[in-house]
Chains A and B, each alone.
Chain A
């Protein structure tokens, strides 16, 4: 579990790290949730968000510890500080949830997303797409005479920017993984 490199005991007891919770400001937080990898656990987490009316901007999940059968769910959500604290406390109540970490509060986390873009075009547009892909360090993972599939990783903002640029150049389809995030530093 230490391989997961997430700080201990951050947010399970929301009561103890009281921030000014009753303000109206909407905040965007990235949460890392460590759960038992058992059937239905994702449904529990998603059911919590839908049942209580919380937002999900992005959600990714995969097993990260095969021997311990633990999965890591990374959720990007928005809400007032009070709602964010409630979300963390409510997540902490789910029985198969081991730890809830608010990466936004714990320090600037590294956030990365992977995306695939299919761009079709000929002539100038095709050359321009390739040139921009190079600037964004996107790789070509499939190509035909009329199309490319680019693979790009980076912050969600970078991927948004790339998508905007590709749109006029023949963007046909796009698939994004959602965010994976880790806190910075040795801890």
Chain B
């Protein structure tokens, strides 16, 4: 049975059939027929953002917090171009989102029509795939295909560009069950020979370490479960990238903390000194490897990744395994158990005692102050006052506060932590927190922000207020572009070129102007009460936490240095980055 309907109706029907319950969007001329259909139904909720970039980040937050693809609907021209930063962000962090854009009618394409932009051309480099649908008969099938591509293999953003005449045209609707999906079917099962080789190496390893990443989260909750089982059964230490936090619980016995440029001393030294590195769904980013030729020089490296292009891209791999983390972990466990659950217990125990020595360095210690709030202290307190809650979601903006949040907050489960890692997009956190709160209306959703990042998409407070989303904006206000200031201090002779936030708004008044609650705190003695007040308030809050202005984020591996050349505190920073390092970012 085929049902005839307009293209606009098909869009809504296809979303419904894909199980979509929420669309983040902003209307305009080229999508009005679709908005008209949205008006006439109740299955799909439309969230009106204040800027299309906000829509995409909200969809990313929604996707990360649910494991489902986020959906965005925007108009042609400026609507589409405003979505570009969000698309690039989602591409870098492997977040599944589907963006639908309106386009000028097919007969006007190429004529520089009003609000025409070459949307598929502009977004080709920042989507996993995109389509311009010129034939109404192919519209519904293309939307189903878009969901398939966004969510299978390495997830990512896709875009479907829909000319206005296609939205008006009537054609028969193709349901998902009859949609012809492309040949695109990435391999999920790992090669069993490769897996057996890896297991054999694990049995012998004297200084093993698991290096886990966002791929474990992408793979779904089963992957995190299997990771826990494997780590606990083998007793191997485990560290994670910024993107993989929560896959292994922070309270877990074998947890070393985050690794990388601002990662923990023990995690980085374990990576440097290991003899077997088992990379599960991480991509050897330069924030992790530092100087490549000095990266973990004495180890054999295993790399499990669903994207063959991630393997051997940066670091040569001894045990390459293409596959989905959950599938591969299941097979690793099976093979390892079948071979008698062997590990080199004695050597691993010695390895742990070395790690314990590194832990004693206590790399996250900081000098507390009675006069000013140290940003680390603010986050340690936020952690202490919220950590019991299983439904606590943390988003961040980009900068020092982001790194401190990763260091001082612990995540017990996947999908509780949303941050912009690969692109490092200031302005991500506030809209992402909105997307998370939409997905989990009763959860505690906090955006740990820097004042500069927060200003980049602060218009989205309007969205939070309109939909009564009780998101908590916890702004560590150092009146500085702190991360930039830190780099200028370390490698540009303390010449602080344009790295301070002047003419800042009064955040409490700003909150009130938006119709939400504002709280200001600048005294360590009042901090706990102020945080409690924020948590108790049933509605959106902007919390202006005035912190120490010149605090630097440590530990830090300076650009161009190796893991064992990590800086732990202020005293060591003089001349820390040489000329070669300073060209790196």
Name A residues whose Cβ lies closer than 8 Å to a Cβ of B: 12-16, 18, 21-22, 36, 39-40, 43-44, 47, 51, 82, 85-86, 89-90, 92-96, 98
Complex contacts, B313 vs chain A, CB 8 Å = 86, 89
Tell me if B149 counts as interface (CB < 8 A to partner A): yes
Shortest beta-carbon contacts, A-B, top 8: A15-B320, A89-B309, A95-B129, A15-B311, A89-B308, A90-B309, A13-B308, A22-B316
Bound Cα distance from A39 to B125, whole angstroms: 15
Which residues from B are CB-within-8-Å of A95?
128-129, 149, 182, 184
Across-interface contacts of B132 in A (CB, < 8 A)? 39-40
Alpha-carbon gap, A85 to B121, bound state (A): 27
Given A95-B149, A95-B182, residue A13 in contact with residue B187 (CB < 8 A)? yes
Q: Which residues of B contact A93 (CB under 8 A)?
A: 154, 307-309
* B488 interface hit (Cβ, 8 Å): no
**Residue B508 CB within 8 A of the other chain:** no
- Report B300 CB to chain A, min CB distance, Å: 13
Contacts of B512 in A (CB 8 A): none
Q: How large is the interface on B (under 10, 10 to 19, 20 to 34, 35 or more residues)?
A: 20 to 34
CB of B509 closer than 8 Å to a CB of A: no
B124 interfacial by beta-carbon distance below 8 Å: yes
Question: Between A and B, how many residue pairs show CB distances below 8 Å?
Answer: 63
Which residues of chain B are within 8 angstroms of A13 by Cβ–Cβ distance?
187, 308, 322
Q: From B125, B149, B307, B308, give the contact of A51 (CB < 8 A).
A: B125
Residue in B311, B316, B320, B321 with the greatest tally of chain A CB atoms within 10 Å: B311
Query: In the complex, which residues 192-240 of chain B have their Cβ closer than 8 Å to any Cβ of chain A?
Result: 194
Specify which of B124, B149, B184, B322 is in contact with A15 (CB 8 Å cutoff).
Answer: B322
B183 contacts the other chain (CB 8 A) = yes
B191 within 8 A of A: yes
- Which residues of B in the span 146-180 have a Cβ within 8 Å of any Cβ on A? 149, 154
How many angstroms from the CA of A98 to the CA of B183 in the assembled complex? 7
Q: Within 8 Å CB of A98, what residues of B?
A: 183
Q: Is B121's CB under 8 angstroms from A16's CB?
A: no
Taking CB atoms, residues of chain A closer than 8 Å to B317 are 15
Name the distance in Å between B171's Cβ and chain A's nearest Cβ: 19
B316–A16 contact, CB under 8 A?
no
Residue B364 lies at the interface, judged by CB distance under 8 Å to chain A: no
Q: List chain A residues, Cβ under 8 A from B321.
A: 15
B439 at the interface (CB under 8 A from A): no
Is the C-beta of B519 less than 8 angstroms from some C-beta in chain A?
A: no
B312 at the interface (CB under 8 A from A): yes
Q: Are A40 and B120 neighbours in the complex by a CB distance under 8 Å?
A: yes
Given A14-B308, A14-B312, A90-B309, A96 and B182 contact (CB-CB distance below 8 Å):
yes
Bound CA span A21–B183, Å: 29
In the complex the two chains form, what is the Cα distance from A140 to B124 in whole Å? 44
How distant is the Cα of A84 from the Cα of B316 in the complex, in angstroms? 14
- Of the listed residues A15, A22, A98, the one surrounded by the most CB atoms of chain B closer than 10 A to its CB is A15
Q: Which residues of B contact A39 (CB under 8 A)?
A: 132
A85 to B322, CA, bound (A): 15
- Contact status of A21 and B312, CB under 8 A, knowing A13-B187, A16-B320: yes
Query: Is the pair A16, B307 in contact by a Cβ cutoff of 8 Å?
Result: no
Which listed residue, A15, A22, A44, A94, touches B308 by the CB 8 Å rule? Answer: A15
> Which residues of chain B are near A85, meaning CB under 8 Å?
312
B317 CB → nearest A CB, Å: 7
Residues of A with C-beta under 8 A to B312: 14-15, 18, 21, 82, 85-86
Complex CA distance for A92 and B132, rounded to whole angstroms: 22
Contact status A92-B309, CB under 8 Å: yes
Chain A residues contacting B194 (CB-CB under 8 Å) are 16
| Contact residues, B349-390 vs A (CB, 8 A) | none
B322 CB contacts on chain A under 8 angstroms: 13, 15-16
